[in-house]
Amino acid sequence: MDMPLQQFENISALLPKNVFGSTDTPFEGIEKQKMKKSSEKIQVFAELGFGNATFLSTEVEKGAREKRMAKFIIPPRIKGVYIRIWVYKYVIAFSTNRFINWQKKHKTNFKFIFGIEGYR
C-alpha cells in the first residue's frame, strides 16, 4: 500500500526527541555532517614562476589536504592575485587580499611566483 507523500512531510513532529532535545534521528545527524563536509570551499591557487617543481602549477586545498598539479588551471571564482618572493628563509607576498605579508620559514628556498587565488 502506497502512502501519500503529504504524510511524510511532517514526520519529524512524530519522532521522539533525543537526548539533546532535537528530533534528528542518528541518520539525519550523519547526513547533516556529510553536507557540512561537502560544503567546504575548495581553494585553488594557480601559480606561474620559478621555485616550484614546474613553471606552471596549480595547488588545490580542501580543509587540511592539499595537492599540487603540474598544469595551470585558473579558478572559476577568482578571489585575488599575488606575487610571492621567497629568498633564503624569508617570504614576502604582495596580495590584493592581504596587501603585504612577511613571514620567516624554517626551510631555505628561492622562489618568485605570480599567482591567482580563488575557489570552486
pLDDT attached to residue 52: 87
pLDDT for 6 equals 47
C-alpha cell, 109: 628556498
The pLDDT tens digits for 51-107 are 888 999 999 999 889 999 999 999 989 999 999 999 999 999 999 988 899 999 999
Number of H helices, E strands in the chain: 2, 5
Q: How confident is residue 38, by pLDDT bands cut at 50, 70 and 90?
A: low
d(CA 15, CA 86): 59
35, three cell numbers: 553536507
Q: Residue 40: its pLDDT value, please?
A: 73
Burial class (CB in 10 A: 0-12, 13-18, 19+), 68: middle
Nearest to 116 by CA among 91, 71, 79: 79
Strand partners, 116: 46, 81
Q: Is 11 helix (H, G, I), strand (E, B) or coil?
A: helix
Model confidence, pTM: 0.63
AA identity, residue 38 = S
* Count of residues making up the chain: 120
- Quick one: pLDDT at residue 36? 54
End-to-end CA distance of the chain: 45
Residue 37 — very low, low, confident or very high, per pLDDT cuts 50/70/90?
low
